[in-house]
Structure 1
Amino acid sequence: SVGIPARQVYTPRWAHTDDNHAWVEAWADGRWHFLGACEPEPVLDLGWFNAPASRGMLMHTKVFGYYDGPEEVMKTTANYTEINVISNYAACAPLTVTVTDTAGSPVEAATVEFKLYNYAEFFTVSRKTTDGRGQASLSAGLGDMLVTAVRDGRFGIRKVSFGREPQATVALDHAIGGEFSFPVDIVPPAESANLPEVTAAQRAENDRRFNREDSIRNAYIATFPAQSAVDSFARAIGVKPGQIARFITASRGNHGEIMDFLREASRKGCTGRALQLLATLSEKDLRDTPSAVLADHLYNTDKDADAATVLAPRAANEMLTAYRSFLRREIPATDAAAFRNDPQLLAAWCRDSLTLRPELCTVSTTISPEGVWRSRTADKPSRAIFFVAAARSLGIPAWIDPVTGNLFYRHAGKDVPVDFESANDRQMETGRLKLRYEPIPRLDDPEYFRHFTLSRFDGQSFALLNYPDFEPWSARFDTPTDLETGYYMLATGSRLADGSVLANVSFLNIGPNRTTETDLPMRDNSEAVRVIGNFNSESKFIDARTGRETSVLLTAGRGYFVVGLVGVGQEPTDHALKDIAAKAAELEQWGRSIILLFPDETAYAKYAASPAAPLPQTVTFGIDRDGSVRRQILDAMHLPGNVPLPVFLIGDTFNRVVFESHGYTIGLGDRFLHTIHQL
């Protein structure tokens, strides 16, 4: 808005840890510089993610229109160009994949997917099509990926290592449906962060601005309704405070819109239905949906309609809009009656009347239901969302399954899958899968998205099944669970302390009306705990609760402990503390001290005003007032002075360190426990 060229940059997935991230680049003095999206540093080209980005394998940005710059073009569509900017952040190298048939001849028009291991899935970070020579190329950071190639019912798969092999051949030597399994070791790029210098004056000025920004934000948050205001509002609309408090609290700055919606519903005698509608929304929806959108859905739905499959405004991840009154008005009465009598006719209308133009939509954006109706244009996700929106507007229960992405409607007491390519009702065949698991040391019950995932072949690639995050194996797959028939990829992995992964990939079939039993192979990390450094357990700090000087030894007693140098209001620290909180019960059972040290009283006070999720009872907060603990840790572990926070050690009172982590990482609580169980 002030004339500085800027663009979003993101890594689709980290290579050395789970999750991903996005940030900003701005153009100045003839080149692109980066800065955090919402955590500005005193200088450009500095963020908490310098070190993780140096271990990245792929960074993207999308430029609207056609782009003719120096970066590698990854994709060109009708409205944007996706370019690869990994070279701005990490050492990288090109790699060309040649796809061949079983006779060794190159295969044109094969779909090639470059996949990174992340959250126990081999996630596709780039999809390409081979040229006339059977080739597809990509530049990426100096680490490992898995590559798949698919064409005409056959596929190939292999690991590739960027920087070690400029050429790789993938033969289509497997038929779709072939069952096999193989281990694969994945090694991410090494860290090589380049951190610009920041003077004390620059840091002080940045801190001053942060504090000013905090005061502005906190003053705004103070205007959100207090409990007394919520109680008063509840009485005014004739409900108990407990019925609405969670909606008002979660809506934060959007509380006025939610309260207006409930106030109007009370006047019209619809409070109960209004609360049912709000209960279908996510916290994000509560924070940004206008009351007019909610009212459109409430007052254009039959009072006895099912809340989850008719009243709910949301179908998938689209922006919520007031589509219901529009569609009820625009769909001709004769068509509406026919669709209600036979929802398959609505599916047929979508198939025959809508033109699919996937190139018009960028990733994760969809055309609104009203836009689909007006333009008669959609991509596949927008068509599915439109079907749900139109069906619900007509009182027909419809939904998109959150695990499989399959589309359903309910008619005559039956849940009917929608197939836009078929003229008749689709009959979904199902089978069952049971995964046998033999516990390995330190892992009794693997978790979905942390240790294993399932993906189903959709004709071109393997589509992930989105079971609940971190659901234990024992909760679903210890006994036979229903799955749609088809060809599946089972991925498992154990991530090691250095970010590398001991993975395994298996391919299996789910047949109709039968149970498939197969192993859930978790490869064990057999590396023994070893001493990697030293730390003086008599190091002193200020106990934040008492204000008195103490030491790690006095706090922890004899034996092992965790000590951490933490920041405040910084994403890496926030992630780390949430991960520790998620494993609070196990860490409390361990019974040893976890000492979290802030750089000064101001930082601790800022944290205490907005603490993380409940941490283990064994946590002690302290102040490293003179920085002596920090200096000793950095010296002992040979870390640079500008090492990114947080820094964590597991050590003992014999001054031995057996674990060290610094900067951004995911699953820290698990990594603690993995080490602890070996001690």
Structure 2
Amino acid sequence: MFTKEMMEKIEAPFREQLKRMGTSGACGARAAQVERMVGEILSPGEAQALKCLYASMPVSDAVDYPAELFEAFARHGAFLWEKGPFAGRVPERLFAGYVLHHRVNNEDLTGHRAFFYEQLKDRIAGMDMRQAVREANYWCASQATYRSTDDRTASPMSVYDCAYGRCGEESTFTVSVLRSLGIPARQVYVPLWSHCDDNHAWVEAWCDGEWVFFGACEPEELLNRGWFAGASSRAMLVHSRWLLPVEEGTEGVDAPQVLPGNDMCQALNQIGRYALTTEQEVAVYDRAGNPQPGALVRFEVMNMACYGEIAAVHTDGQGKCVLRTGLGSLHVTASKDGAYGEALADTRQGSCCEIVLDAAGQQNDRWAELTFTAPKDSARNSVMPTDEEKARGRKRLEEMNRLRREKESRFYDQALAEEATAGMESDMRDRCAAIMKKACRNQKEIGAFLAKPADGAYPERWKTAVLESLREKDLRDITVEVLEECCLEAAGWESVYGDGLLVPYILCPRVGNEMIRPFRRFILGWLEQESARQGRDLSEEIRRNPVAAWELVQEKIVSDKKEEYGNLIASARGALESGRGSRLTQEVVCVQILRTLGIPARLDPVEGVPEVWMPSGEARSAKDAAAGSGQGEAVTEDMGVFVPLERHERTCSILIHGQEGVEWNYFGNWSLARFDDGAYRPLWLWEQDKLAGPIPAFPGRYRALTANRLPNGNILAKELYFRLEEGQQREIRLELAEAEPADMLTDHAIPDFAIKREDGEACLLSALVKEDSGLFIWLGEDEEPTEHILNEIYERREAYAELQGRLFFVAMRPEIRKNPACGRVLEALPGITLMFDEFGADMEALARRLYLEPGKLPLAVLIDRDMRGIYSVAGYNVGTGDMILKLVRMSKT
């Protein structure tokens, strides 16, 4: 199947992987099974394919998934290579990395290749690669659509089974479908945008020698198109991932820059395909001016009011490194041997960014103002469909959406839900029904768990409790085995802890973003065996001193980033039997051990470190009495505190005060970060209003940031560095940089389309602004944000009177006149032109072109005579009416 040269590069890492799996336990048996497969069972081509997979997979894949799963990938890959619809057309390295390979990102793995192939083989019969890619993407749209979910990446089959996913899941699903057909495909990511607070992933497919791109589950008649095409031209980095131990195989002038990662894979910098670029050089020195080879340089953009890493590179022998990047601002940091430095680089200037390392770090202790410039929009990819292609694509997409909605309507089985909840109280039945609706096609698994009698082994109410302790995504792939093990193994602690402590921190199987697998019985057995081997009772030692769990995990699980990919987390069985796992694996397994032993534990929601609940003296006595007799009052969470296992307690605190007149939102316009291991790590203060009380904190170095995002994507920022000594209490008053009205103007080419007058006549936007700029406001019907903007316009009706000839209200139906707020504005300002639109694909494309949230109303756009969007806003913020007034007047001058 592959050449001798390639297999020679595969053989050594394949053997190393088998060694890592070990010789004992389930992992050792799996390694021996793989040996038998490649030596005795599989055909020569299938054996080569299986070796390629094991040579390039993260160690957590090797120890956590059965060999039969990868055998299925290998068999299907060999079939595609020999007999697939595009057999003989793909170079071996691209085939190995982008067709055969089982992993797209950090998704759960499932055996899906043969299934997807059977779904699509007849649809693409006789098509060339480009046609097949378009057809496959239409099919993907009929199976799944976008919905925001949590950070754990669901498997392609889970996305298929529930019909939705975030962009990273949609693209993982679509890439998997294309690979199932023998078409090389990869996920392409912007880690963080510079012009807005988000990121995005899409798909690239290799079609007869050329990489093309498109939005996953967002089909169009033409390739190299997508709503994100304009946004990607404003990116500072676009990358894909390469996992094989041989080079990717793209050569020539357009070859991507290879960015060796901190983990086992390489990041391929694809920015040149999407944006205007430059080479940003960085030079790192010590305080004496000596170059610093081997320093870690992190390139960051401001996103969500904090600095987010988009790439990391080590300096060469001269203390320098280079990043191919877009034309905008980068926050660049460097660290080595405990010393740290940073600088703000404007890549448009073309100068080398110099950083001086200092062990003391930044300590300005006062607010400093900075400006971050986002790259401007460019026409790097500007393929335009004809009107006929648009209409055909819209019609096909409507049909795909209809098919998907029909599929979704069949997910919930009312009869199954009634059978599973028979005998429950009414309130409990309703709660369980809500759970089963969220489970989509996994409803049968949830129903089987609910219907199975507890038989006194644990309280019946725990069934609902454990299900409600999970995230919504967990309900789509959780198993009866996991749920039942949780309840059975936690039963001994029912009388010791109250539900508020027991359910989330002992009973619940979810710790971080790991794939949930049974772990409690294995951990108990492993602790018993390890105790016998060492001649001491490890379980009892951990119960007396929970820190011993963290020490044991660090001793038994070696963390090597070069053996793992991204944020993958191995199971307790896989990690403890193989002795290998990531830092995240160590943390999750530590919490799993503690929960198995009846010790409330969690990952700290602020910094992610393992924490254990420590009872007060009074609670400890009550807990011991309850555990010994089964009598007494159950211990509650407020009778103790969570403390970190690795560090001492948070003896410091930070009290945040907000600047008056500003609505402060964490990760919206401010953030806090603590310096740790050579970088400032953001504190995850999502869950509570941190302006309401002191924030418990460790001693150390901190950075506060505020961000004022402008409509053109630039940010006016302020930063404050400070240090907390042991026991220190510190008050911080946030400051937001002020923007001038001129800073609010943008410059985006607007796609022209028609809206209708009240008499039904269609009129292009360009015709309406031919003589003068115009303000268009798409109104939501009876929606509160629209009511607010209409009220502001009415209150300032005398000022708006001079602009009404340039003001257009766009509604979906004539009935908008009956809305009281709209009716009085139209009566007070009869010069306003009322227009009508379907609020469909054209309006969505307009919003995306302006980097606004599609469908968010009201949508106000100020368009000049050259069809440039010079101001836009979606939704409502206090003062929007005044801002529009100022900018319309400014545009006239």
- Counterpart of 2:655 in structure 1 is 434
CA distance in 1, matches of 2:582, 2:520: 20
- Shift of the 24–651 alpha-carbon distance from structure 1 to 2, 3 Å rule, reads closer
Report SS of the residue matched to 1:377: coil
CA distance in 1, matches of 2:839, 2:552: 71
Residue 530 of structure 1 and its aligned partner are, at CA, apart by: 8.6
Amino acid in the other structure paired with 1:285 = D
- Counterpart of 1:463 in structure 2 is 681
- Counterpart of 2:401 in structure 1 is 214
- Shift of the 495–177 alpha-carbon distance from structure 1 to 2, 3 Å rule, reads closer
- Shift of the 661–561 alpha-carbon distance from structure 1 to 2, 3 Å rule, reads closer
Residue 41 of structure 1 and its aligned partner are, at CA, apart by: 1.4
Contact 1:58–1:86 (8 Å) recurs in 2: yes
CA distance in 2, matches of 1:531, 1:467: 32
Amino acid in the other structure paired with 1:450 = G
Q: Which of these residues, 50, 74, 83, is aligned with residue 259 of structure 2?
A: 74
Alignment of 1:352-501 (within 5 A): 352-413=555-616, 415=641, 417-419=643-645, 426-439=647-660, 443-468=661-686, 475-477=689-691, 479-501=693-715
Residue 307 of structure 1 and its aligned partner are, at CA, apart by: 0.6
Report SS of the residue matched to 2:524: helix
Report SS of the residue matched to 2:542: helix
CA distance in 1, matches of 2:413, 2:340: 59
1:92 aligns with 2:277: yes
- Counterpart of 1:3 in structure 2 is 182
- Counterpart of 2:506 in structure 1 is 310
Deviations along 1:404-445, one digit per CA (max 9) or x if unpaired, are 11211124545464455xxxxx53242121233333xxx522
CA distance in 2, matches of 1:111, 1:222: 51
TM-score after normalising by structure 1: 0.80
- Counterpart of 1:255 in structure 2 is 443
Q: Which of these residues, 36, 41, 49, is aligned with residue 220 of structure 2?
A: 41
CA distance in 1, matches of 2:419, 2:870: 51
Report SS of the residue matched to 1:331: helix
CA distance in 2, matches of 1:625, 1:429: 56
1:27 aligns with 2:206: yes
- Counterpart of 2:342 in structure 1 is 157
Amino acid in the other structure paired with 2:369 = P
Contact 1:564–1:646 (8 Å) recurs in 2: no
- Shift of the 640–246 alpha-carbon distance from structure 1 to 2, 3 Å rule, reads closer
Q: Which of these residues, 488, 501, 507, is aligned with residue 721 of structure 2?
A: 507
Residue 446 of structure 1 and its aligned partner are, at CA, apart by: 1.4
Contact 1:529–1:658 (8 Å) recurs in 2: no
CA distance in 2, matches of 1:105, 1:47: 47
CA distance in 1, matches of 2:451, 2:712: 55
Amino acid in the other structure paired with 1:455 = A
- Counterpart of 1:298 in structure 2 is 487
Report SS of the residue matched to 2:652: strand
- Shift of the 323–47 alpha-carbon distance from structure 1 to 2, 3 Å rule, reads same
Alignment of 1:131-280 (within 5 A): 131-172=316-357, 175-176=360-361, 178-180=363-365, 181-193=367-379, 194-225=381-412, 234-240=421-427, 241-265=429-453, 270-280=459-469
Report SS of the residue matched to 1:348: helix
Amino acid in the other structure paired with 1:464 = P
Residue 51 of structure 1 and its aligned partner are, at CA, apart by: 0.7
- Shift of the 624–511 alpha-carbon distance from structure 1 to 2, 3 Å rule, reads same
Contact 1:77–1:360 (8 Å) recurs in 2: no
CA distance in 2, matches of 1:23, 1:532: 26
Deviations along 1:168-207, one digit per CA (max 9) or x if unpaired, are 1112257236234421111111101322132344334433
Residue 522 of structure 1 and its aligned partner are, at CA, apart by: 0.5
Normalized per residue, the structure richer in strand is 1
Residue 528 of structure 1 and its aligned partner are, at CA, apart by: 5.5
Residue 214 of structure 1 and its aligned partner are, at CA, apart by: 2.2
- Shift of the 105–674 alpha-carbon distance from structure 1 to 2, 3 Å rule, reads farther
Alignment of 1:311-330 (within 5 A): 311-330=507-526
TM-score after normalising by structure 2: 0.62
Amino acid in the other structure paired with 1:209 = R
Report SS of the residue matched to 1:163: helix
Residue 345 of structure 1 and its aligned partner are, at CA, apart by: 2.1
Q: Which of these residues, 819, 822, 837, is aligned with residue 624 of structure 1?
A: 837
RMSD of equivalent CA atoms: 4.3
CA distance in 1, matches of 2:744, 2:594: 61
Residue 125 of structure 1 and its aligned partner are, at CA, apart by: 1.1
Residue 145 of structure 1 and its aligned partner are, at CA, apart by: 0.9
Residue 585 of structure 1 and its aligned partner are, at CA, apart by: 9.0
Contact 1:115–1:147 (8 Å) recurs in 2: yes
Task: Tell me whether 48-57 or 194-203 shows the greater mean CA deviation.
Answer: 194-203
CA distance in 1, matches of 2:383, 2:332: 36
- Shift of the 597–16 alpha-carbon distance from structure 1 to 2, 3 Å rule, reads farther
Task: Tell me whether 449-458 or 356-365 shows the greater mean CA deviation.
Answer: 356-365
Residue 492 of structure 1 and its aligned partner are, at CA, apart by: 0.9
CA distance in 2, matches of 1:449, 1:137: 30
CA distance in 1, matches of 2:861, 2:376: 25
CA distance in 2, matches of 1:220, 1:626: 25
- Counterpart of 1:127 in structure 2 is 312
Report SS of the residue matched to 1:493: strand
Contact 2:195–2:374 (8 Å) recurs in 1: yes
Contact 2:326–2:375 (8 Å) recurs in 1: yes
Residue 541 of structure 1 and its aligned partner are, at CA, apart by: 5.0
- Counterpart of 2:538 in structure 1 is 335
Gaps of 5+ in 2: 1-179, 532-536, 617-639, 766-773, 795-806, 815-819, 827-833, 886-893
- Shift of the 595–513 alpha-carbon distance from structure 1 to 2, 3 Å rule, reads farther
CA distance in 2, matches of 1:81, 1:289: 32
Q: Which of these residues, 174, 181, 194, is aligned with residue 15 of structure 1?
A: 194
Deviations along 1:35-54, one digit per CA (max 9) or x if unpaired, are 11221211110111111011
Contact 1:531–1:658 (8 Å) recurs in 2: no
- Shift of the 278–64 alpha-carbon distance from structure 1 to 2, 3 Å rule, reads same
Report SS of the residue matched to 1:355: coil
Residue 669 of structure 1 and its aligned partner are, at CA, apart by: 3.2
Amino acid in the other structure paired with 1:273 = W
Report SS of the residue matched to 1:463: strand
What is the percent sequence identity of the aligned residues?
Answer: 26
- Shift of the 185–242 alpha-carbon distance from structure 1 to 2, 3 Å rule, reads same
Residue 133 of structure 1 and its aligned partner are, at CA, apart by: 1.2
Amino acid in the other structure paired with 2:390 = R
Q: Which of these residues, 647, 650, 669, is aligned with residue 860 of structure 2?
A: 650
Deviations along 1:246-269, one digit per CA (max 9) or x if unpaired, are 322322332222222211256667
Deviations along 1:341-395, one digit per CA (max 9) or x if unpaired, are 3322222211222211122221121112221111111121110001011111121
- Counterpart of 2:778 in structure 1 is 564
Gaps of 5+ in 1: 421-425, 553-559, 567-576, 602-615
Normalized per residue, the structure richer in helix is 2
Deviations along 1:305-349, one digit per CA (max 9) or x if unpaired, are 501111111111111112222222332173223322332222221
Deviations along 1:117-174, one digit per CA (max 9) or x if unpaired, are 1110111111222222111221111111111122344322221122322411112257
